[in-house]
């Protein structure tokens, strides 16, 4: 590739032994960060290794440095600085050569992100505890109204710090004097910055001790509120991205509230091109199976701020569960647990004395930039490539909590799912092509849709029904499945115990869809989607122009 140091050829390491070498043509320019990753790690493209599609051309300051190797003696200006950590009475500042993260001490609130010449990407007009934070909505037994709680730590610890990595912890505990006033959980919020990585990771460990009072959770998440004077373009899918209204547009007299507070008609928006549209954060919800990346783009300077979720294992409700993503603020959410679109069934309830511990995350807050601010899709495309890299790195080996299991501590399971329907074919079974097969806590068939305390692991079967689920956290599970084109839910009768290093092969499993006789007629396709149903045109006075003639309108 061409860089400011000349022309170089670079062969990047292979992610799998049976994959061919991956060659990338990387166009780089000085101070351009379109594609950044751990300088000391393996970097590879995602997708099907047999695909004939060429790899995209990417700009990459970190890759340039990585592939050139360490700087020669005396080249201090080109050296990649290690991770630096500074602790004061009010702040914890972690930085590498790409960006700087500021956290409040001991609260653990993200108060600042310095990147690409901008002192702070977080909303500087907000109070410091209303910029980047973990929160939880909880309720004591018998109380239906949730209590909103921004999770603020009371104890700060440095878990690890050297030139390659810093991991810091902000912990909040609980004692009986807080009963009814604070959620009875130990919450340990972690933040990680790696050398040469253009972004930071965060994850949380929630623990309810035996003997502690019962409670329920309605929602828990990480929220980031970015600068409204810079971030105006939002993207969450190839066909769901646009210039967004300003938060001021949602307030009278610029905005008119409609049937519920989240839906607002833009009467006199700051950007006149948006006049007459309806803004509603629920228009940007997404099924978890597709919700890997979303975020915001600034045009001046051209910067992307993205929330990447590399695994669904810590989300609740299975792959079809819908969650919020990004919306006017500019606000960006990493949802771990919520009752949206489901109600009380997806609000876990813990009894007095019930022990529970779960790791939420890590999720990655990715920063990228370009020299051309006229096309935000460049930064979106780069963020999608970063998603593939994060998924290939899962589970992360650098997250240091003992509660976050690494690859060697986890297990694998495989097999083949067949469909037996004698009204379609009398004497042979059908392949469960594209079936969704997953592990969740033991329960009845279909209970994975309401399961909200444990981990879930899902894959989509091949054309012949073969499935392979890897990186399973140790524990007891049932295996569940559903097959597009067939009604009903499958559950493997036996409880499966996954231990470290297990590689369990289940062989052929047979799903018999429920039916009382031959099909007389049918409307629609039983694929858990309403895509083929007729949706009438909305009232032209209440539209979001993004969804006019949209395939998912």
Domain boundaries, the chain: 1-80, 84-392, 407-511
Dist. CA 526–CA 517, nearest whole Å: 17
Judged against a pLDDT cut of 70, whether residue 471 lies above it is answered with: yes
pLDDT tens per residue, range 429-466 = 999 999 999 999 999 999 999 999 999 999 999 999 99
Residue-level pLDDT at 381: 97
The residues, ordered by sequence, that sit 6+ positions from 251 with a Cβ below 8 Å of its Cβ are: none
Residue-level pLDDT at 50: 36
Q: Measured on CA atoms in the order 9, 116, 376, 264, is the torsion positive or negative?
A: positive
Residue-level pLDDT at 536: 86
pLDDT tens per residue, range 18-33 = 444 443 434 333 333 3
Residue-level pLDDT at 387: 98
What average pLDDT score do residues 473-484 get? 98
What average pLDDT score do residues 377-389 get? 97
Share of the chain above pLDDT 90, in %: 79
Residue-level pLDDT at 80: 66
The residue among 14 and 270 whose pLDDT is bigger is 270
pLDDT tens per residue, range 322-337 = 999 999 999 999 999 9
Query: 84-392: what CATH class?
Result: mainly beta
pLDDT tens per residue, range 276-311 = 999 999 999 999 999 999 999 999 999 999 999 999
Q: Is 178 left (phi over 0), alpha (psi -120 to 50) or beta?
A: alpha
438 half-sphere exposure, CB direction, 13 A CA radius: 29
- Token pair of 476, please? 């007891």
Judged against a pLDDT cut of 80, whether residue 1 lies above it is answered with: no
| CA 376 distance to own-chain centroid | 21
What average pLDDT score do residues 361-374 get? 94
Residue-level pLDDT at 534: 85
pLDDT tens per residue, range 18-76 = 444 443 434 333 333 344 433 333 333 333 333 333 333 343 333 333 333 333 333 33
pLDDT tens per residue, range 254-276 = 999 999 999 999 999 999 999 99
What average pLDDT score do residues 212-236 get? 98
Judged against a pLDDT cut of 70, whether residue 189 lies above it is answered with: yes
The model carries a pTM of 0.86
pLDDT tens per residue, range 95-150 = 999 999 999 999 999 999 999 999 999 999 999 999 999 999 999 998 888 999 99
- Domain 407-511, what fold? Immunoglobulin-like (2.60.40)
Residue-level pLDDT at 373: 79
Residue 93: which pLDDT band, with cuts at 50, 70 and 90?
very high
Q: Measured on CA atoms in the order 90, 96, 97, 100, is the torsion positive or negative?
A: negative
Judged against a pLDDT cut of 90, whether residue 315 lies above it is answered with: yes
Dist. CA 455–CA 473, nearest whole Å: 8
pLDDT tens per residue, range 412-429 = 999 999 999 999 998 999
Dist. CA 145–CA 398, nearest whole Å: 39
Residue 532: which pLDDT band, with cuts at 50, 70 and 90?
confident
Judged against a pLDDT cut of 70, whether residue 156 lies above it is answered with: yes
Give 277's DSSP letter: B
Residue-level pLDDT at 61: 37
- Can you name the residues that pair with 299 across neighbouring β-strands? 302
297 within 8 A of 235, measured Cβ to Cβ: yes
Residue-level pLDDT at 551: 79
């Amino acid at each position: 590739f061409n860089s400011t140091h000349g022309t170089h050829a670079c062969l990047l390491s292979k992610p799998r032994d049976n994959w061919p070498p991956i060659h990338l043509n990387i166009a780089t320019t000085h101070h351009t960060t379109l594609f950044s990753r751990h300088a000391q790690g393996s970097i590879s493209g995602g997708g099907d290794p047999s695909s004939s599609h060429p790899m995209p051309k990417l700009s990459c300051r970190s890759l340039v440095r990585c592939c050139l190797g360490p700087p020669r003696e005396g080249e201090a200006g080109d050296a990649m600085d290690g991770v630096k950590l500074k602790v004061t009475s009010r702040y914890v500042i972690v930085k590498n050569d790409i960006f700087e993260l500021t956290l409040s001490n001991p609260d653990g609130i993200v108060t600042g992100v310095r990147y690409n010449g901008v002192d702070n990407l977080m909303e500087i007009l907000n109070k410091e505890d209303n910029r980047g934070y973990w929160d939880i909505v909880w309720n004591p037994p018998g109380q239906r109204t949730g209590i909103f709680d921004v999770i603020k730590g009371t104890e700060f610890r440095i878990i690890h710090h050297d030139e390659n990595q810093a991991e810091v912890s902000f912990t909040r505990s609980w004692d009986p004097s807080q009963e009814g006033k604070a959620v009875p959980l130990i919450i340990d919020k972690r933040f990680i910055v790696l050398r040469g990585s253009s972004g930071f990771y965060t994850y949380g460990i929630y623990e309810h001790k035996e003997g502690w009072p019962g409670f329920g959770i309605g929602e828990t998440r990480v929220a980031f509120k970015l600068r409204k004077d810079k971030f105006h373009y939002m993207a969450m899918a190839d066909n769901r991205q646009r210039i967004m209204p300003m938060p001021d547009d949602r307030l009278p007299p610029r905005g008119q509230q409609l049937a519920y507070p989240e839906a607002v008609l833009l009467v006199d928006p700051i950007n006149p091109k948006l006049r007459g549209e309806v803004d509603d954060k629920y228009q940007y919800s997404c099924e978890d199976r597709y919700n890997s990346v979303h975020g915001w783009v600034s045009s001046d300077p051209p910067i992307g701020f993205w929330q990447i979720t590399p695994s669904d294992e810590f989300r609740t409700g299975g792959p079809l569960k819908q969650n919020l993503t990004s919306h006017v603020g500019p606000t960006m959410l990493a949802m771990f647990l919520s009752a949206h679109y489901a109600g009380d069934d997806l609000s876990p309830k813990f009894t007095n004395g019930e022990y529970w511990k779960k790791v939420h995350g890590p999720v990655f807050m990715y920063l990228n930039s370009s020299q051309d601010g006229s096309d935000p899709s460049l930064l979106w495309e780069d963020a999608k490539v970063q998603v593939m890299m994060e998924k290939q790195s899962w589970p992360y080996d650098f997250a240091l909590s003992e509660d976050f299991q690494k690859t060697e501590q986890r297990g694998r399971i495989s097999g083949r799912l067949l469909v037996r329907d004698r009204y379609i074919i009398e004497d042979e079974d059908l392949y469960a092509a594209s079936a969704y097969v997953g592990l969740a806590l033991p329960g009845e068939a279909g209970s994975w849709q309401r399961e909200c305390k444990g981990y879930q692991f899902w894959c989509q079967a091949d054309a012949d029904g073969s499935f392979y689920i890897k990186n399973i956290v140790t524990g007891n599970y049932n295996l569940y499945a559903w097959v597009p084109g067939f009604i009903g839910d499958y559950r493997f009768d036996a409880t499966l115990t996954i231990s470290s290093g297990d590689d369990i092969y289940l062989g052929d499993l047979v799903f018999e869809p429920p039916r009382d006789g031959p099909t007389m007629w049918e409307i629609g396709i039983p694929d858990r989607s309403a895509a083929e149903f007729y949706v009438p045109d909305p009232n032209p006075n209440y539209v979001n122009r993004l969804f006019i003639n949209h395939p998912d309108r």
